[in-house]
Amino acid sequence: MPAPTSRPAAEDAVLVDRLRSDETGNAMRALYRLYGGELYGFALNALGDRGAAEEIVQEVFLRAWRHAGRYDPERAAVRTWLYQITRHAIIDARRRAAVRPGLALHEPEGEAPGGASLEQAMLGWQVAAALERLTPEHRQMIRMAQFRGLSMREIAEHTGLPLGTVKSRTWYALRSLRLVLEEMGVVPT
């Protein structure tokens, strides 16, 4: 069974630990390379504006640098910590936009600022990030069955793979996903 791409959470915690003392900027660049994309996706989805989302991401990494000394790896994974910072930055941006109507940002209907759907979106992006860490074969099985609603038999027909392969691959894919989510701290171990 091919293992999902794994990166010990402790490595990310070391990056955060180095943020304040590192004058080369490399710890910041590494952290941005790891999380910039998904946090940008989260912010873009929540605000509906590329420029605003980019500013949020900039703000998030700046706040991360400012508060790096207070980060406690025992309490939360780096990803969880960064998502929480992003969530707060999004709420702040929406508040600012609310008092300056000219800057009104997209806000899905029926959503209270910082309400449940922002939490759900945060969860969604972390699950999307977990999917990215699976092998392409595993990801394909989950996408076809879950997002496109295809049955195991239909996937076999579509891909030309034997039905038994599709079934076992789907099972391994879900097991891998569960492990990655545990590692990310999204679900309890």
Partner 1 sequence: MREELGGYVLGALEPDEREAVSAHLGTCHECAAEYARLAGLPTLLRHADGLEIPAAPPAVDERVLDRVAKERGQRPRRGRAGMLALLARPWRWRPGLGRRRATIAAAVAGAALGAGVTAVVLGGDDGGRPAGRYALRLTGAAGASARAQLEPGRGGTEVHLWVKGLPPGAEAVYEVRCERPGWSASAGTFRADARGRAYVVLTTAARIGEYERIRVVRRSDPRDADVMSAEIQ
Binding site for partner 1 (CB under 8 A): 23-25, 28-29, 32-33, 36-38, 40-41, 44-45, 50-51, 54, 57-58, 61-62, 65-66, 120-121, 123-125, 127-129, 131-132, 141-142, 145-147, 150-153, 155, 164, 166-175, 177-178, 181, 186-187
Nearer to partner 1, 6 or 168 (CB): 168
Residue 181 near residue 127, CB atoms below 8 Å: yes
Smallest gap from Cβ 129 to partner 1, in A, equals 6
Our CB check for partner 1 shows the closer of 20 and 98 to be 20
* Closest to 32 measured CA to CA, from 45, 19, 49: 19
What minimum distance in Å lies between the beta carbon of 58 and partner 1? 5
Tell whether the torsion through CA atoms of 44, 49, 54 and 60 is positive or negative.
Answer: negative
In the complex, minimum distance from the CB of residue 14 to partner 1, in angstroms, rounded to a whole number = 18
Amino acid at 92: D
What does the alpha-carbon distance between residue 176 and residue 112 come to, in Å, rounded to a whole number?
Answer: 34
Q: With respect to partner 1, which residue has the nearer C-beta, 94 or 169?
A: 169
Residue type, 139: R
DSSP element (H, E) containing 37: helix 26-47
